[in-house]
Structures are given as C-alpha cells and as structure tokens.
A = this chain, B = another copy of it.
Amino acid sequence: MCPKYEAASDILGKKWTGRLIRVLLGGPKRFKEIKEQIPEMSDKMLTDRMKELEAEGIIKRTVYPEMPVRIEYELTLKGKELQPVIETIQKWGEAWM
C-alpha cells in the first residue's frame, strides 16, 4: 500500500505533470496544441515529461501515417483516472496555497 502511494506521488509531484494531464483531460492533442496551453514549458521539458508519462502508461502516443505525419497524445485509462487526484490537489491548493 505505502510503496504504491509513494510511486504515485513521485509521478504526480513532478513539476508540470499536473498541468500536462489537465490539458490532456480535454481530449487528444498534438504537441503544438499542448505547447500553446503551457507556453512556459520548454520543448525539451515537454518532450521529456511526455516520454516519462508514456513509459508509465499514462499517456499514449499515436502516429497517423498522413502527409505530413500527424502525431497525437492522449491519456490512457490509467491517465484519465487521475482526474479526481488532480482535482483534489487543485482544490486544496486553491484553499491553502
């Protein structure tokens, strides 16, 4: 139980992760669309964080073989189920920070 809590809070405690997940709770997005919603985040940081979340199975990356190629990022079920977590953190943050 405790290691699972620690593992979950390790992921959620990283800078930008909450915002990134919140943006993707709005539906699948292309890299550029995510950037537009988090303009303060550098390309490198966004790329790194997305790779980590993809490796964790929280984000899914789909390549559409169009011309030019279209790449979309979306939350998996594991990622979507973070919604109540993000919401309670945000509620507490708004009340107390």
Binding site for B on A (CB under 8 A): 1-10, 12-19, 78, 81-82, 84-86, 88-90, 92-97
Indicate if the CB atoms of B4 and A90 lie closer than 8 Å.
yes
Indicate if the CB atoms of B8 and A92 lie closer than 8 Å.
yes
Give the copy number: 2
Which of A6, A15, A18, A89 has most B Cβ within 10 Å?
A89
Complex contacts, A13 vs chain B, CB 8 Å: 9-10, 12-14
- With A and B bound together, what is the CA distance between A84 and B13 in angstroms? 16
Indicate if the CB atoms of A88 and B90 lie closer than 8 Å.
no
User: Chain B: which residue is nearest A86 at the CB level?
Assistant: B5
Indicate if the CB atoms of A7 and B93 lie closer than 8 Å.
yes
